């Protein structure tokens, strides 16, 4: 956010700042902490670039552990991302096979086999009578 000159010849910090500084350098000095943060942010961009993009990919997205748990548990994860000022809402989906469904199918299969065995035994017992 730069220091901007006001119509009355004073300077302000950013679009919404008060016209209170007599020179641009006074404005910049008074807001040095902002500039230091911007310099630090820019220095960290190379490190962050490996997560957010490179020449081979349009965008990199890093799933957190919590995001992966939600995706695997519910089968859906909605994420809002911003790149170059454009915002996107992305819905990730995953075909979840819930444990209950797996156990239900297994249980039914076992019960069917046991029931078949029981019917055969019962039929054989009746034939003996």
Percentage of the residues of the chain whose pLDDT score is greater than 70: 75
Percentage of the residues of the chain whose pLDDT score is greater than 90: 10
Residue pair 12/19 in contact by the 8 Å Cβ criterion: yes
**Is residue 41 very low, low, confident or very high in pLDDT (cuts 50, 70, 90)?**
low
Segment 22-30 mean pLDDT:
88
Q: Which residue ranges make up each domain of the chain?
A: 1-60
**Is residue 9 very low, low, confident or very high in pLDDT (cuts 50, 70, 90)?**
very high
Which comes out higher in pLDDT, residue 114 or 64? 64
- What is the reported pTM? 0.35
**Backbone region of residue 27 per phi and psi (left: phi > 0; alpha: psi in -120 to 50; beta: other values):** alpha
């Amino acid at each position: 956010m730069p220091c901007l000159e006001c119509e009355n010849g004073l300077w302000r910090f950013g679009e919404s700042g008060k016209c209170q500084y007599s020179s641009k350098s006074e404005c910049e000095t008074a807001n040095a902490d902002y500039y230091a943060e911007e310099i630090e942010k820019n220095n960290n961009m190379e490190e962050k670039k490996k997560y957010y993009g490179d020449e081979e990919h349009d965008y990199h997205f890093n799933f957190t552990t919590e995001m992966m748990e939600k995706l695997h548990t519910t089968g859906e994860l909605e994420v809002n991302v911003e790149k170059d000022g454009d915002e996107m809402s992305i819905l990730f989906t995953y075909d979840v096979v819930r444990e209950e469904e797996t156990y239900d199918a297994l249980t039914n299969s076992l019960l069917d086999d046991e029931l078949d065995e029981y019917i055969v035994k019962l039929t054989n017992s009746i034939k003996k009578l």
